[in-house]
């Protein structure tokens, strides 16, 4: 029983007093669960719908066949192979450009130029860049690259890299900022130079968060459509040369197929959507595993 006795022998009630205190707790609990459900509904709806509509389209041929059929053809002819390869190539190269640049930028801002003019400028500009709409990034690459060198997967990579860069800088910066100063001091006290301190203590301490932030940026970029429309055009055959000639990607194929009236194209769009979700999901899992691996000494 939640009743104690005080020194005078009188009972002392240890239970939560009924009334407004308890009611508030109940209201807030209900609100929290409700918000959780509200967030969950669209996610579950998207997943269930895409899976239900797309699963029937997925088979080995769909994922690997190197010819995307014309819209009028029914499901079962050709496949999305060129788009799968295009998406992996284009996002992969974008990651190769944006992640090193972004992490180095964050290292500069947090470890080197923090309070200086250049450091603050880089931080401010990357925040501004976060707000640039993806279609504007596509147009930007179109005018400075595509007009001079033609359509290519690489042009698409550049557009995606521009989108990923501020996200990578921001997430890496936040992670580096969390590294306690006492670790830097400990390293300096052993006679380490600034570069050593950064490379052997600061970055390893933050690497888990940096990697997962970078992979989240990659997963987002993999689903971008607008910047690719201006930069890679579209093809129906696999173009494994990233650096020249038009290319294609899952996101642009979803756009092209879903907007056409044919049954086969619609099914292909759902299939491509499911494939894209699967790729993003795989990246998320990879991010978790990598993070766990890199942070095994941090607790």
Partner 1 sequence: MEEQEEQVPVQVQQEQEIIPKLDIPDTAPREIPTGNPVFDVQNASMYYGDFRAVTDVSLTIYENEITAFIGPSGCGKTTVLRTLNRMNDLIVGARVEGDLRYRGASLYASDVSPTAVRRRIGMVFQKANPFPKSVYDNVAYGPRINGIRNKARLDEIVERSLKQAALWDEVKDRLNKSGLGLSGGQAQRLCIARTLAVEPDVVLMDEPCSALDPIATGRIEDLMHEIKSQYTIVIVTHNMQQATRVSDRTAFYSVLRDARSDTRTGVLVEYGPTAQIFGDPRDERTQAYVTGRMG
Contact status: 196 vs partner 1 (CB under 8 A): yes
CA dist., res. 287 & res. 47, Å (int): 20
Task: Choose, by CB under 8 A, the member of 113, 204, 223, 246 that binds partner 1.
Answer: 204
User: Distances in Å between the alpha carbon of 61 and those of 58, 80, 239, 260, 281?
Assistant: 8, 8, 18, 22, 21
Contact status: 115 vs partner 1 (CB under 8 A): yes
Task: Choose, by CB under 8 A, the member of 11, 74, 100, 186 that binds partner 1.
Answer: 186
What DSSP letter does each residue of 100-114 carry, written as one string?
HHHHHHHHIIIIIST
Contact status: 290 vs partner 1 (CB under 8 A): no
CA dist., res. 30 & res. 43, Å (int): 20
Span from 60-68, 73-81, 170-178, 290-298 in contact with partner 1 (CB under 8 A): 290-298
**Neighbouring-strand partners of residue 3:** 13
Least distance in angstroms from the C-beta of 180 to partner 1: 7
Task: Please state, as a whole number, how many other Cβ atoms lie within 10 Å of the Cβ of residue 40.
Answer: 10
Span from 37-45, 60-68, 182-190, 272-280 in contact with partner 1 (CB under 8 A): 182-190
Instruction: Say if CB 276 and CB 254 are below 8 A apart.
Output: yes
Residue linked to tokens 């925040």: 127
Q: Which is nearer to partner 1, 193 or 259 (CB)?
A: 193
Contact status: 117 vs partner 1 (CB under 8 A): no
Residue linked to tokens 């180095």: 104
For partner 1, the binding residues in 32-71 under the rule CB under 8 A are none
Q: Which is nearer to partner 1, 187 or 253 (CB)?
A: 187
Contact status: 273 vs partner 1 (CB under 8 A): no
Contact status: 188 vs partner 1 (CB under 8 A): yes
Helix and strand tally (H, E) in the chain?
13, 2
Q: Which is nearer to partner 1, 31 or 195 (CB)?
A: 195
Least distance in angstroms from the C-beta of 127 to partner 1: 24
Cα Rg of the chain, angstroms: 26
Contact status: 261 vs partner 1 (CB under 8 A): no
The answer for residues whose C-beta is within 8 angstroms of residue 286's C-beta and 6 or more apart is 215
Q: Which is nearer to partner 1, 58 or 192 (CB)?
A: 192
* 274 token code pair: 């499911």
Span from 53-61, 139-147, 187-195, 229-237 in contact with partner 1 (CB under 8 A): 187-195
Burial class (CB in 10 A: 0-12, 13-18, 19+), 36: exposed
Span from 219-227, 235-243, 272-280, 291-299 in contact with partner 1 (CB under 8 A): 291-299
Contact footprint for partner 1 (CB under 8 A): 115, 180, 182-193, 196, 200-201, 204-205, 295-299
């Amino acid at each position: 029983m939640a009743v104690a006795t005080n020194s005078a022998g009188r009972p002392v009630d240890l239970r939560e007093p009924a009334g407004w205190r308890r009611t508030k707790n109940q209201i807030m609990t209900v609100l929290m669960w409700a918000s959780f459900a509200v967030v969950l509904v669209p996610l579950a709806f998207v997943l269930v719908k895409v899976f239900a509509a797309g699963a029937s389209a997925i088979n080995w041929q769909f994922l690997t066949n190197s010819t995307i059929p014309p819209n009028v053809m029914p499901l079962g002819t050709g496949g999305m192979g060129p788009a799968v390869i295009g998406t992996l190539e284009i996002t992969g190269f974008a990651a190769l450009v944006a992640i090193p640049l972004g992490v180095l930028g964050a290292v500069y801002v947090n470890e080197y130029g923090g309070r200086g003019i250049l450091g603050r400028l880089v931080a401010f500009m990357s925040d501004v860049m976060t707000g640039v709409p993806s279609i504007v990034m596509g147009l930007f690459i179109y005018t400075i690259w595509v007009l001079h060198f033609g359509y290519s997967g690489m042009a698409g990579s550049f557009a995606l890299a521009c989108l990923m860069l501020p996200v990578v800088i921001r997430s890496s910066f936040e992670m580096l900022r969390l590294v306690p100063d006492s670790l830097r001091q400990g390293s300096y006290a052993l006679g380490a130079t600034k570069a050593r301190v950064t490379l052997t203590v600061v970055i390893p301490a933050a690497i888990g968060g940096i990697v997962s932030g970078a992979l989240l940026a990659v997963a987002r970029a993999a689903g971008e459509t607008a910047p690719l429309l201006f930069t890679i055009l579209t093809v129906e055959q696999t173009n494994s040369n990233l650096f020249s000639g038009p290319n294609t990607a899952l996101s642009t194929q979803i756009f092209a197929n879903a907007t056409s009236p044919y049954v086969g194209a619609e099914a292909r769009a759902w299939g491509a959507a499911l494939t894209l979700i699967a790729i993003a999901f795989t990246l998320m899992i990879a991010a978790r595993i990598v993070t766990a691996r890199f942070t095994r000494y941090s607790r």
